[in-house]
């Protein structure tokens, strides 16, 4: 058997990395997984050259792709069996587009809170408030949005939302207990083989 031509650079405990791993699993794309050991490393080389010092990245024959959306698109180009994927630009109307925006913003806010050395600061307090308000809003809108999504096998929105919700619990940033619509979505999505195969663990 030949080695995969793609290398994913990330961490098994990272929600942005899980988005890409879940996509790869759904699309049947093989890759070698290279783990970034230290998330506080200050050299871009530790993040396969990403000057923003972030993960994940995908090293492919076409180039090195930074960020989960770029990576998912490249994975889709490598899919053996094409699947119907809904991308962010296909989300029409304010509510659909806002769910996408708020999901990604909440993922970024969570990163900030985890990386923050001053959890009692005014900024951290604001970020926690932002996360709580966002989850409340997402909980009120998620059912209508799932209904309105175009016919699909997979959407970047649902994968990101699933990774956000499970990561909040995994890192104990915030309990999702009060958000019953979001929890129902996560429970249903979590039955996929791709979700089971990519559970968060610390490397």
Ligand X SMILES: N[C@@H](CCC(=O)N[C@@H](CS)C(=O)NCC(=O)O)C(=O)O
Of the two residues 39 and 173, which places its CB atom closer to ligand X in the complex? 39
Tell whether residue 16 is a contact of ligand X (CB under 6 A): yes
Tell whether residue 55 is a contact of ligand X (CB under 6 A): yes
Tell whether residue 111 is a contact of ligand X (CB under 6 A): yes
Tell whether residue 94 is a contact of ligand X (CB under 6 A): no
Tell whether residue 39 is a contact of ligand X (CB under 6 A): yes
Does the bond joining 56 to the residue before it have cis omega, within 30 degrees of 0? Answer: yes
Q: How far is the CB of 106 from ligand X (least distance, A)?
A: 12
Tell whether residue 14 is a contact of ligand X (CB under 6 A): yes
Angle, nearest 10°, between helix axes 122-148 and 180-189? Answer: 60
DSSP string, 110-161: HHHHHH-S-TTSHHHHHHHHHHHHHHHHHHHHHHHHHHHSPS-SEEHHHHHH
Tell whether residue 115 is a contact of ligand X (CB under 6 A): yes
Q: How far apart are CA 173 and CA 170, in angstroms?
A: 8
Tell whether residue 201 is a contact of ligand X (CB under 6 A): no
Q: How far apart are CA 72 and CA 87, in angstroms?
A: 10
Tell whether residue 141 is a contact of ligand X (CB under 6 A): no
Would you tell me which residues interact with ligand X (CB under 6 A)? 14-16, 39, 53-56, 67-69, 111, 115
């Amino acid at each position: 058997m030949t080695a995969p031509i793609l290398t994913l650079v990330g961490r098994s405990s990272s929600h942005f990395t899980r988005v890409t791993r879940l996509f790869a699993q759904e699309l049947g794309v093989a890759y070698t997984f290279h783990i970034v050991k230290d998330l506080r490393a200050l050299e871009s080389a530790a993040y396969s050259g990403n000057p923003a010092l972030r993960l994940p990245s995908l090293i492919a024959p076409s180039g090195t792709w930074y960020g989960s959306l770029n990576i998912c698109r490249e994975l889709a180009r490598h899919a053996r069996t094409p699947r119907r994927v809904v991308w962010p630009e296909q989300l029409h109307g304010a509510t659909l587009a806002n769910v996408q925006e708020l999901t990604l913003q909440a993922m970024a806010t969570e990163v900030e809170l985890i990386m923050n050395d001053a959890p009692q600061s005014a900024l951290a307090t604001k970020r926690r408030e932002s996360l709580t308000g966002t989850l409340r809003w997402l909980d009120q809108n998620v059912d209508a949005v799932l209904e309105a999504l175009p016919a699909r096998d997979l959407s970047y929105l649902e994968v990101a939302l699933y990774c956000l919700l499970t990561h909040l619990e995994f890192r104990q940033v915030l309990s999702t207990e009060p958000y019953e619509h979001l929890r129902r979505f996560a429970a249903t999505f979590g039955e996929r083989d791709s979700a089971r195969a990519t559970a968060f663990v610390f490397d």
